[in-house]
Amino acid sequence: MIDDLNKNILNEFQKDASLTYKTLAKKIGVPTSTVFSRIKQMKDSGVIRGIVPLVSPVKVGKPTTAWIKISLEINTDCCDFADEVAKNVNVMEVHEIAGEWDILLKAKTEDNLALHDLTKEISQIPGIKNMESLIAFKTIKEDPRINL
């Protein structure tokens, strides 16, 4: 269970994970050792899965964002398909979903041609009944942080 102190630590840490534990402790008003032990505990328990920089897709040459909806043939194992498609480096997210579609992917590519190539590659995975892509014209907000 995440208590209020862990929530405060996580909220501040998500704003800037480059902060030292000492600086983070001052912002929250607790000893540095408390911040260190709480973050270690949250890493060990899987609450914090990793620490990565927030990279600008545009500045690194991947400005095209798309969602790919996939419906699977009735005998296709959804979990196996999801595991297979998740191996693609341009696929950022893989979700098993309810409704008309079975899988929802989020992808980042260099351009529409690269997206076309990605969808062709995905379509080679056995078990697809139907596939549809949605392309973002403009991204207003994209933030992986979770407000606690």
Same domain, 78 and 130: yes
Using one digit for the tens of pLDDT, what is the confidence trace for 26-65? 999 999 999 999 999 999 999 999 999 999 999 999 999 9
Same domain, 68 and 121: yes
Do 126 and 75 belong together in one domain?
yes
CA distance 57 to 62: 5
17: in domain: yes
Instruction: Find the CATH number of the domain harbouring 8.
Output: 1.10.10.10
Whether residue 110 is contained in a domain is answered as yes
Mean pLDDT of 73-92: 96
| Residue at 52 is within a domain | no
What's the CATH code of the domain at 83? 3.30.70.920
Q: Is residue 51 part of a domain?
A: no
Measured CA distances, 27 to 3, 113, 121 (Å): 17, 46, 47
pTM of the model: 0.88
Q: What is the 3-state secondary structure (H, E, C) of the chain?
A: CCCHHHHHHHHHHHHCCCCCHHHHHHHHCCCHHHHHHHHHHHHHHCCCCCCCCCCCCCCCCCCEEEEEEEEECCCCCHHHHHHHHCCCCCEEEEEECCCCCCEEEEEEECCHHHHHHHHHHHHCCCCEEEEEEEECCCCCCCCCCCCC
Average pLDDT, the chain: 95
Q: Do the Cβ atoms of 105 and 125 come closer than 8 Å? A: no
Residue 83 belongs to what domain range? 64-135
Same domain, 77 and 130: yes
How many domains is the chain built from?
Answer: 2
Residues 71 and 110 in one domain: yes
Query: Per-residue pLDDT tens for 85-115?
Result: 999 999 999 999 999 999 999 999 999 999 9
